Structure 1
């Protein structure tokens, strides 16, 4: 997979892709993230990428021409399965969408900045508009990094244990159960005996029941319209 990110502040993305899982994914040749400075596609001495909004009002708007030039240049190199615009009024990002995007080959992500982009860019080029939550950031760069991280870790071979991603919260519509490691007794707080039993079926049932219990307590909205119930055994 290749993810191309268009931004006016490329420095914000220096860190997330040079460490940990994302760095290993690139080293393995499984995924690469390229960051493109939008100002490289602007004209004039000032390399201007924003202008005042027609009709007045506070804030600047990202201009059509630099964005269009950048997108067209990238599209001339390869086909993109999705061209994503990070925006607060987009579809809320979730695990299901991450799963879907992880099956794609090439993604382009446009990071909004200032008051956003000229609407004509959204109409002509954007195939998906995504938000990571009902709040506003200074720009879409951090949100784009979140998308890339969530998607790349799902690519087969990226994680050392590929089953790890399958047991993450939200993969089955539930939050993950409590987890423990050594020591088995810390300051009088003991690991549940069932996890030390070695009985795989009982452990799986316990984890499922704890996932349901935790989801009901913390995110009951995830269970709306489902038949999950505490005490129900995993099939």
Structure 2
């Protein structure tokens, strides 16, 4: 798959593409990332990419012409009609189901806004989908783009050391969308706090039952909305409900 990223700051992506486990996805070509700076496609001696907003107000607005030239350059390089994705406060919140869908796609063109935003005429003409990370504002779309790329990369075959690791992640369908359970490692007693006995028992059925109970309780306490979603899909069994009732 290929992701083309339109950004005024391509240098921000260097650590993402060269460090950490997910770099395997980029180095192997499982996820190809191409960076494009609109300044390279802007006209004039100053290669201007932004201007003051009509109607007044603070800040600057990214201009449509350089963005269009950048997009047409990318379109000429790609053989598909990849969707153009803008990271924006009005977008749908990115969730695990969305990441899974992107991880099985052929990629997209990711548009990273800056300043006060992007000329709305470009958005109306070219943007196919808008995505948000949540109800807060970033300085630009680069961090959001990196979040999507990282989440997609770790789902690719061979990227994680243990191929089953992501199946135990919070929100994964393998866990019925619940939050993951707590995890422990050596030493068995740290600062007076021991590891739960069941995890040292070697009894796999008991361990899995404990983990299920922990996932249910954590989700009920911290993300009851997710628990209700699982209930509506018929993923919470009568045994699960008894575990929740017993804890209450």
TM-score bracket for the superposition, by shorter chain length: over 0.9
Equivalent pair of 1:80/1:106 in contact (CA under 8 Å): no
CA–CA distance in structure 1, aligned partners of residues 207 and 107 of structure 2:
39
Aligned pair 1:119/2:123, yes or no? no
Q: Structure 1 length normalisation: TM-score?
A: 0.92
Equivalent pair of 1:81/1:104 in contact (CA under 8 Å): no
SS across alignment from 1:148:
helix
- The residue aligned with 1:87 is 88
Equivalent pair of 1:30/1:158 in contact (CA under 8 Å): no
Deviation at 1:230, TM superposition (A): 5.8
CA separation of 1:157 and 1:54: change in aligned 2, threshold 3 A: same
Aligned pair 1:22/2:26, yes or no? no
Deviation at 1:220, TM superposition (A): 1.7
Equivalent pair of 2:178/2:216 in contact (CA under 8 Å): yes
CA–CA distance in structure 2, aligned partners of residues 166 and 126 of structure 1:
32
CA–CA distance in structure 1, aligned partners of residues 19 and 230 of structure 2:
39
Where in structure 2 are the equivalents of 1:1-235 lying within 5 Å? 1-78=1-78, 79-171=80-172, 172-227=176-231, 228=236, 229=241, 231=243
Equivalent pair of 2:220/2:227 in contact (CA under 8 Å): yes
CA–CA distance in structure 2, aligned partners of residues 207 and 164 of structure 1:
15
Deviation at 1:117, TM superposition (A): 0.9
CA–CA distance in structure 2, aligned partners of residues 119 and 230 of structure 1:
52
CA separation of 1:185 and 1:12: change in aligned 2, threshold 3 A: same
SS across alignment from 1:15:
helix
CA–CA distance in structure 2, aligned partners of residues 158 and 117 of structure 1:
35
CA separation of 1:66 and 1:161: change in aligned 2, threshold 3 A: same
Which runs of no fewer than 5 residues in structure 2 stay unpaired?
Answer: none
Aligned residues: 232
CA–CA distance in structure 1, aligned partners of residues 27 and 56 of structure 2:
48
SS across alignment from 1:231:
helix
Q: Which has the higher helix share?
A: 2
- Kindly provide the CA deviation profile for residues 34-67 of structure 1, in whole angstroms up to 9, marking residues without a partner as x: 2211100111111101112222222211111111
SS across alignment from 2:127:
coil
Deviation at 1:188, TM superposition (A): 2.6
- Kindly provide the CA deviation profile for residues 185-219 of structure 1, in whole angstroms up to 9, marking residues without a partner as x: 22332111211222222222211110110111112
CA–CA distance in structure 1, aligned partners of residues 82 and 105 of structure 2:
6
Which runs of no fewer than 5 residues in structure 1 stay unpaired?
Answer: none
SS across alignment from 1:72:
helix
Equivalent pair of 2:115/2:139 in contact (CA under 8 Å): yes
